[in-house]
Every structure is written in C-alpha cells, then in structure tokens.
Structure 1
Amino acid sequence: MNNYFTWFYDILINEGFSEKTSSYINVLINSVILTIILLVLDYIFKKVIIRSFRIFTIKTKTTYDDFLVQSNFPKYVAHIIPFILLRKFIPLLLADFELWKSYLIKITDVYLIFLIIWIFRSVIRTTKEYLKQKEYFKDKPLDSYAQVFVIFLWFVGAIFIFSELTGKSITTFLATFGATSAILLLVFRDSILGFVASIQVSINDMVRIGDWITMEKYGADGNVVEITLATVKVSNWDMTITTIPTYALISDSFRNWRGMQESGGRRIKRAFIIKTNSIKFLTEEDLKRFSKIQILSDYITHRQTDIDKYNKELNFDRSIIVNGRNQTNLGLFRKYCDLYLNNHPAINKDMMIMTRHLEPTSKGIPLEIYTFSKDKRWINYEHIIADIFEHLIATVPYFDLELFQEPSSKDIEALNAKLS
C-alpha cells in the first residue's frame, strides 16, 4: 500500500525534481485523489445505507426505525467508514510530515468522536419521539430526560476530545474537572435544578403534558405543552406562550386543574348580594302568592304546616309576626335556588349542591351558589353559569327582594329629579 503513495514521488524524482518538491507535490496529488475517492465512497455508502433503511422501515410494523431515519441516523452511520479509511491512510499519506500527520490524525479522531456523539444523540431523540407515541408516556417529561442523556453524552465526549487533543489520560481530565466543579455547578445551575425538578415532578406526578395549570407569578394560565430540562412551556388560553423555569414548579405555588378535569364536574362558586332592607317575614297573603310558583308549592305547604304546629304547641302570640317561627322571602328564595339547581339538567346531582349565606357586608347579604356542572369544557361551563345566574337574577324581584348595585349617574339624576 505504501508503494501507491510514493508512486508520484518516484516519477518526480526521476524527472529531476528535488526531494522536497517531489514530497510536497506527491502529498498534494495523493491528497486530492484520496479526497475524491473518500467523497465518492461517502456518497455511495450514504445512498445505500439510507435507501436500505427506508426499505426496511416500509417492511416493518414498528415506527421506531421511521424515527431513526428522521433523526439522520443512517446518514451519520454512513460517514463512519470513509473516516475510518481516512484515519488509516493518513500515516501513509504523510509519512514524511510528522507534524502534519499528528495534527491531521487528531482532527480526524476528534471528528470521529463527534460523529459517534451524533449517532447516539440520534438514538436518544428517536427513542424520545417513539415513546411520545405511546399512551403511557404521552404526559411524561420525556424532553427533560432526553436532554439529561444528551448532556451526559456530550460530557463523556468532551472527556475523550480533551484526552485526544492534549495527549493526557482521562483520569487527568477528571482530576481537573474536580477542581473546577464549583465553576461548572454555577454555569449549569439551571440545568441541574431543572433536572432535579423534572425527576420530582415525574415521581410525584405533579404536572403532566396536557395538564391545565395556573401560575399567577409567571402569568401562566393554560395547558402544558412541553416539559424540558430547563423550562415548562404553557400555551395560555389567549393563545400566548408562557415559559416557566422547571424548578419553579417545586419552589413556587401553582394550581393544577387536572383533579377537576378528572372529576365528575367543574365547580360553580359565585354569589350575588341581596339588599338587607328587602328581607322580610312572609304573611299568609305572601305565602298564597308564592305557592303559585310550582317548584315551591309542595315545600311551602309542608314547611308552613310544621311551623304552624310548632307555634301552636308553644302558644306563641301570633298578633306580632316576630313571635315564633316564620318563613322569610330570602329563605324561600334560597330554597328555590336549591330546587332549581337540583332540577337543572347541566348540574351533577351526585356532587354538592348548596345555596348559602356568606358573611353580611355593608352592601348586603351575599347569597352564594355552590355546585358542580356536568360539562367541564370551558365554553359550555361558562354558558351553564350564565344560564343559571340569568334565571336567578331575573327571579329575585318575584320574591320581593332586591339586588345590590352601585348607583349609576342615571340613578342619581332620577333621585335629584324627585327631590326637586
């Protein structure tokens, strides 16, 4: 083999060229020829291997090999053989140029290390994309784990590159690394924190891909679309994207709506304020009038029978209505709200249904509706709330009650007109 690399040298010497000139021209010609041969081989290997992979992927049922092709795995593999041949021919090509030979061998070895790293990186990416297709792994932070493996891969590659370029052993690099670990910890702080956070998030099942989370500190309110080593990407409902540091999920407070989405209903918790001076005891005439409300008819009859029996047994003086027990318009309206919700088709009857008073305020008595809708989809959920409260607000005046509302300019003008 060595005779082939000196063939041009011998010809040039016979033609009367000096040894130095002959050596340079010989190396130049051989380099051009070798480069052309290796480029042709690289092209052939690339075509053959990529084509073979594609044929193989068509015949197999698994999609793993499809992802291998997409991640350029065959192309990287095709480059290995030509560079191994180059590594073998360099000592023969540059036999008379020790310094050049040494540098070129190091460059080739470093490139081979990079090539091996790219091959393994393709396998990692392929595995990540393949697992994302599996139902069990769809909501797992695979991007974080893949990034950890890639970082470790580059770390190992850096060790070998350092050893190749400096000629020192790997143990020497590790000793140097130990001395600079504090600086590296500072540089890779976010990555290390993100890695630890990713593990904790996964083990504790705190967040999954597709979860709806709310994190006011970062302005996030939407679905988690990606969890990586350093960041969590949230697609907000206003179509913006919020990026949150992964370690913030374990260091800060956030709300995960997954429990609601997996439950039987979505909570409705809203109140309106009843003016205190509109609350009153109900007279017999009032009860007869309210008995015409079908949903309350049986309740009023049964309730009033119990009240009359109680008042009669204790012999209360009923000439003053405050004596004994009495029904109020607010109490009757509260019961109406309960019955209305229990009969509403969009309310989950297996979950809590309650109408309750909140603590009185200077504006009146807040009456809160606390229940759960069957439909948890946002648009439908808002429509259900609107339907319920539009009906109840419109019903308030029928019970001789009033809702509190801050006076508007028209209210003030009307009051002034009355007083003038």
Structure 2
Amino acid sequence: MKFINKQLINYGVDPTFSKYLSVVLLITFIVLICVIANFITKKIVIRLITHIVNNNKFQWDNILLEKKVFHKLSHFVPAIIIYYFAQSFPTYQSLIEKGAITYIILVALSVLNTLLNAVNDIYQNFEVSKVKPIKGYIQVVKIVVFVLGIILVIANLIGESPLIILSGLGALSAVLLLVFRDSLLGLVAGIQLTSNDMVRVGDWIEMPKYGADGDVIDLSLNTVKVQNFDKTITTIPSYALISDSFKNWRGMQVTGGRRIKRSIFIDTTSISFCSMEMIEKFRNIHYLTNYIETRQHEIAEFNIKNRINISNSVNGRALTNIGVFRAYISQYIKNHPGIHKEMTTMVRQLAPTEHGLPIEIYAFSNDVNWAVYESIQSDIFDHLFAVAPEFGLRLFQNPTGNDFKVFTPSPLNNTEPDSH
C-alpha cells in the first residue's frame, strides 16, 4: 500500500487523492491475482487432473471427479491470496483475515462433505456394501465434522480458542442429546443391524406395523426406505428394526425355494372304504399303480396273518378313498416340475374342523419369483380341485344362493287351496 501510494505521489498525484487511489489499485490487483489464480487452477490444473483420471485404470478417482471434489478444492486459492494480502489493510486486517479463514473453513466443510459422499459411492461398487452398508457411519462422521466446523467458525469470529467453546458444550449435553436423539438411536441401531447382518439393501422385508411390505432401497443413519410392491415408499426409523419385529424374506430368496402351505377341505361325509371297482380304477392312474399294488399286498398279508374276516370291511385293514387321494397328491407334488426336489415335501391331514377335513400341501417351489410362484401354486390346486371327485370325494364350501334355490319351491308350484 505504501509503495503504491509513494509511486502515485512521484507521478504527481495529489497526496490526499493518492491515498484512496492506492487502495482501489491494490484491491483491483488482488482481485486480478485471484481471477488469474482461479483461472489457472480450473482451466489448467483441473483439466490436467481430469486427463490423468480419465486415462488410468482406476474407477474410484472417476467418482471423485464426478462429485467435483477437485473443483471445490480450487476455491481455497482465492481465499488464501486474500488472507495473505490482509496485512496491506492494517485498519481492516483482522476483519479480512477472519472473513478469509471463515470462508476457508466453509470450503473445507463442503469438500469434506463431497469427499464423504464420494467414499460412499466408491464403497457401493463393492459387493460387501450390500451386506455391510456404511452410509449410516458416514452420516455420523458428517455430523461430527459439521459440528467441529461450526465451532471453529464461531471461535474464529469471536477470536477465542475452540477449546473454550468445547468446554461450554458440557452444559448443553442434555440439549444435544435431545436434538440428536434419533441420530444416536439410529447409530446404535445401524451398528447392530450391520454387525448382525439383519437387513441389507435389496432385501424383501415385511413390517405390518409401519405398512411396509417390499424391497429395502436405502439404509441411512435415521431411516430405512422400503419400496412396497404397489410402488409406494415406506420410511421406517432405523431403531424400529431393533425394537420391533420384522420379517426378512432373504432366506427364501437365497435358498431358491418359496414355501407353499395351503389346504383343501374335504367333506367328511364323502369319505369311505374303497370298493373293488374303485381299486381297479385307481390302479390305472399313473401315479397310483405301484402304490395300489404295494398297499394291497401289505393289507392281504396282514389280514391273512391275523386271520381277519374280510367279509366286513370294518374288520382288519382296507384302503380308503381319502388315503388313496393323499397318496396321489404326494406323488403328484413330487413329480411336479415346479417343486423344489431338495426341500421338504409333505401332504398331511390336519385336525377336522366345522369346514371339513383339511388336507395340507407343504412344499417349496423352485422359483422364488412372485408371479411364477403364484402360477405354480395355482396350477397345483387347479388340478387337485378338478381331480378330487374322481376319488369319490367332495370338497367343502359354505352354502351359496344356488344351494338354497334347490330347497326353495317354485312360485308356479306354490298354489293355495280354493277357499270355496
């Protein structure tokens, strides 16, 4: 400043005017240097970095470039230049230095925020990210960084040590705990969810309390986002997955088999012993030929060995239409192309109810896709509903309007006797 002022006076400029003119010239010079430095940084240095990044085999640096981490670093240069030229303005030196340092801290916070986002994106390129996401931890680091950044800005503006402000935070700890309650609970929940591998991005979870039934699309510090099958989004607090119960269908998806567990109800009045005509008919059914021959041989041996009088079917052992039907279902399920052969396959009889005798099919489809699974299940029960009458069995259902019509006399036949 003194040098510029002295040169202006030497050129014949009025001393009073030269004082103000020197300030304008110095500010113009500083602005010009900042513009040139910023131009060199962005047009030369950043382009050189971009060229290096685009021509190497690494992928992580491309993400840093896409997130503009290097571009934001260029904002440090003008602030540093202004800081070192602050001593040229003794009257406003302290104010300029504080402003420059504040700007540098804010730029540093922006760079760290972008860098942490880039780290998360880089991590997501690895398969382990689906098992152990770090988004929640990165959000915790961001909170710590921003809190420290705000403390540094305040300490710089008031001209005090950051330690003094930190010591004063002890009295505000209770308030901070209330403000960051969800974040702290989310942090603890995130650690438990990750360490115990309870949920991952892409898992199908079901949580009726929150109306969630779909795929996890995001795991963050405070929330878990679930895209339901109707394409709506349900947001669940992270700690709710620890405090409440939820169903994760990942096991079904990993094993490759989806459970079928459904019953058909048989009218108990249609259950009977098999006559010889029925046995011969069943013998011609592909899935029952070996079963009928084996069972008849076992029954004949048992009755002969125990001298059973077979003139009455109540005596000894005999085939029943419900037993043969169960055997048929079992063979049909085992030979169905949509059933997983290495998982449990079972046809069982449950306790009779007022709706009849339940015959439950317990098996696993070999395709976990929802549409395919429903198609396999429907095909099986379509066939069973159609084939049940072939075994002399009736399926139970509650009476309908058509059933009552059978017992309702026609109005044409409902004639009253002549009163005369």
Same fold (TM over 0.5): yes
Distance in 2, matches of 1:13 and 1:268, equals: 101
Helix, strand or coil: the match of 2:74? helix
Give the structure 2 partner of residue 280 of structure 1: 272
For residue 188 of structure 1, report the CA deviation from its aligned partner: 0.7
Match among 251, 260, 263 for residue 271 of structure 1? 263
| CA spacing shift, 1:51–1:17, aligned 2, 3 Å | same
Give the structure 2 partner of residue 34 of structure 1: 30
Match among 67, 71, 78 for residue 71 of structure 1? 67
For residue 411 of structure 1, report the CA deviation from its aligned partner: 2.3
Give the structure 1 partner of residue 390 of structure 2: 398
| CA spacing shift, 1:178–1:5, aligned 2, 3 Å | farther
Of the structure 1 ranges 183-192 and 315-324, higher mean CA displacement relative to structure 2 is found in 315-324
Give the structure 2 partner of residue 46 of structure 1: 42
CA contact (8 A) 2:325 2:391 kept: yes
Q: Deviations over 1:170-197 (max 9, x none)?
A: 2212211111011111101111111111
CA contact (8 A) 2:346 2:362 kept: yes
CA contact (8 A) 1:145 1:229 kept: yes
Distance in 2, matches of 1:375 and 1:153, equals: 47
Give structure 1 stretches of 5+ with no counterpart: none
| CA spacing shift, 1:270–1:4, aligned 2, 3 Å | farther
Within 5 Å, which residues of 2 pair with 1:126-165?
Answer: 126-165=118-157
Query: Alignment length, in residue pairs?
Result: 412
Identity over aligned pairs, percent: 41
Give the structure 2 partner of residue 117 of structure 1: 109
Give the structure 1 partner of residue 418 of structure 2: none
CA contact (8 A) 1:49 1:78 kept: no
CA contact (8 A) 2:193 2:199 kept: yes
TM-score, L = length of structure 1 = 0.92
Match among 95, 98, 104 for residue 103 of structure 1? 95
For residue 371 of structure 1, report the CA deviation from its aligned partner: 0.6
Distance in 2, matches of 1:201 and 1:133, equals: 21
CA contact (8 A) 2:9 2:15 kept: no
Distance in 2, matches of 1:107 and 1:411, equals: 89
Residue 372 (str. 1) matches residue 368 (str. 2): no
Give the structure 1 partner of residue 2 of structure 2: 3
Give the structure 2 partner of residue 260 of structure 1: 252
Helix, strand or coil: the match of 1:360? coil
For residue 300 of structure 1, report the CA deviation from its aligned partner: 1.1
Distance in 1, matches of 2:3 and 2:401, equals: 103
Give structure 2 stretches of 5+ with no counterpart: 415-420
TM-score, L = length of structure 2 = 0.92
Residue 297 (str. 1) matches residue 289 (str. 2): yes
Residue 15 (str. 1) matches residue 1 (str. 2): no
Distance in 2, matches of 1:35 and 1:76, equals: 19
CA contact (8 A) 2:205 2:212 kept: yes
Q: CA RMSD in A?
A: 2.2
Distance in 2, matches of 1:412 and 1:24, equals: 108
Give the structure 1 partner of residue 381 of structure 2: 389
Distance in 1, matches of 2:47 and 2:16, equals: 48
Give the structure 2 partner of residue 182 of structure 1: 174
| CA spacing shift, 1:130–1:88, aligned 2, 3 Å | same
CA contact (8 A) 1:139 1:210 kept: no
For residue 16 of structure 1, report the CA deviation from its aligned partner: 6.1
For residue 12 of structure 1, report the CA deviation from its aligned partner: 11
Helix, strand or coil: the match of 1:363? coil
Give the structure 2 partner of residue 336 of structure 1: 328
Give the structure 1 partner of residue 158 of structure 2: 166
Residue identity matched to 1:372: F
Of the structure 1 ranges 406-415 and 177-186, higher mean CA displacement relative to structure 2 is found in 406-415
Within 5 Å, which residues of 2 pair with 1:240-259?
Answer: 240-259=232-251
For residue 36 of structure 1, report the CA deviation from its aligned partner: 3.9
Distance in 1, matches of 2:406 and 2:10, equals: 116
